[in-house]
Structures are given as structure tokens and as C-alpha cells.
Amino acid sequence: MNDEEWMSERLRQAGFQKVATFFEILHPTKLPRRMLNIDSIGIKGSTIFIFESSRTKLDTQEIKDIAERYFVFRLQRIALRASYSFTEIRVFHHNPQTQRLIEVNGSGRIIKTLTYTDTNKLVLILANR
């Protein structure tokens, strides 16, 4: 099981709804039009959670990429309304190797870094989001 599928399974265990792996969304401002790939998403209440997984250290370019996902989902909120109804967007970088979950806001600032020691702890962290 790859990192993206593993994370989606943890989201299901934590009670997220409409969990999707390898989700694609049209980037509304890039020309020519291109699809933006999202590793894992899930809905909890009226919040959509977007997760990007990688085994590399979070660097400046990766933070920009994560912030771009926030921007795209904000712009595409109306287009996604039929499948995913949400009012809030939260974006995370997940590194399974270092066992860290890092929340990034729309302007690319790190909001919070959470660490976990095992799968059950991660599910508990996700369930309390």
C-alpha cells in the first residue's frame, strides 16, 4: 500500500466522509488548463481536509505547492458543491517517515506541526481535528 492509500485508510478510520485518493481538480488559473493532483482528501463536518504525502523534508517549493492546493479548492468551491459541500479548507503535509503532520495555511505559513508515534495515535489526532 502506498503512502496516499495508507493515509486515506487512516482518514476513514478517523470518521471522515467522502474520502478520495489521487483526486484531480482543474486548476482554474493556469493556461493551458491542467489538472492538479491531490493525494488524499476527506470531509469532516463542513471542512474539507487536503493531504499531501511525501517522504522528503518539507521545503519552500513544497509549501508553495500545498498553499496552491488551498487556493484552487477555494476557487473551485462552487464547482465542487454537488460532490463536496464545504465552508472551510485545511491543508496538510504528511511525512510517514518522520511521522509528522504539518498544517499549512493558504498563504504558505506553517500553522501547526503534530507528531505521532503509531497509527492509532495518528487516527486519534485526525479524529479530533
Question: In whole angstroms, what is the distance from residue 97 CA to residue 115 CA?
Answer: 11
Inside any domain, residue 13: no
Cell of 83: 460532490
What pLDDT, on the 0 to 100 scale, is given for residue 32? 80
pLDDT at 1 > cutoff 70: no
The structural domain count of the chain equals: 1
Inside any domain, residue 1: no
Question: In whole angstroms, what is the distance from residue 49 CA to residue 21 CA?
Answer: 12
pLDDT at 80 > cutoff 90: no
Q: Are 81 and 88 spatial neighbours (Cβ–Cβ below 8 Å)? A: no
Q: Mean per-residue pLDDT for 95-107?
A: 91
Inside any domain, residue 11: no
Inside any domain, residue 7: no
Inside any domain, residue 24: yes
Question: In whole angstroms, what is the distance from residue 99 CA to residue 94 CA?
Answer: 8
Inside any domain, residue 46: yes
User: Can you give the pTM of this predicted structure?
Assistant: 0.88
Which percentage of the chain shows pLDDT scores above 90? 50
Inside any domain, residue 14: no
Range of the domain at 46: 19-127
Q: Mean per-residue pLDDT for 4-17?
A: 93
Q: Mean per-residue pLDDT for 48-65?
A: 87
Inside any domain, residue 3: no
